[in-house]
Amino acid sequence: MKTVIKTLIAGCFALSTAGIALAQDNPMVGGAAMFTDKNIVENAMNSADHTTLVAAVQAAGLVETLQGEGPFTVFAPTNAAFEALPAGTVETLLKPENKEMLTKVLTCHVVGANAMAADVQKMVEDDGGKHVIETLGGCMITAEVKDGMVTLTDETGGVATVNIADVVQSNGVIHVIDKVLLPKG
């Protein structure tokens, strides 16, 4: 009996430390560990800072896409970023009749590549200080590096800063940003 208990304890310890090992190199996001063996949606659902983004992804029908193979780079706006939009914007976008516009806004945050912060910074440097990135939504966002931080300027002139970079996922990478990127009118 003691051998069985010791084996169970050892097995539980091995499982728990394996989870720690998978998350230890990734930054915490929204108070939650981000695991490299989970996809973008699975990890985002655990972040207390991304409940609005997760609700929007669900409303737009993009869950299956962002759980796909990828690779994807997602510039993930926080709840505070969504709250900074004009009053009623989020509620309006979440209405079923506005699904197309919501999808456009969300896909302006997704790139069909695995772009770590160092890659983005090198592209900016190679392009003389600014690098234009085309998103899956067809938006053109301009990346720059200011005071060591990557910034992204959307098509309306709004500027988002990457606050947490290089959150590795099984199907890409998330960079947490402080503003919602918007397409042209």
State the average pLDDT for the chain: 88
Q: What is the pLDDT of residues 130-184, one digit of tens each?
A: 999 999 999 999 999 998 899 999 999 999 999 999 999 999 999 999 999 999 9
Q: What are phi and psi of 83, to 5 degrees?
A: -65, -25
Nearest to 59 by CA among 111, 8, 97, 26: 97
Q: 152 lies in a domain? A: yes
Print the domain residue range for 48.
27-177
- The rounded percent of the chain whose pLDDT value lies above 70 is 87
Residue 112 lies in a domain: yes
**Is position 88 within any domain?**
yes
Using 70 as the pLDDT threshold, list the residues of the chain that sit under it: 1-24
80: Cβ contacts below 8 Å, ≥ 6 apart? 49, 178
Distance in angstroms (rounded) separating the CA atoms of residues 101 and 170: 28
The secondary element (H helix, E strand) that includes residue 55 is helix 51-60
Q: Which pLDDT does position 14 carry in this prediction?
A: 38
Q: Domain count of the chain?
A: 1
Say what the pTM is. 0.85
Alpha helix (H) residue ranges in 135-182: none
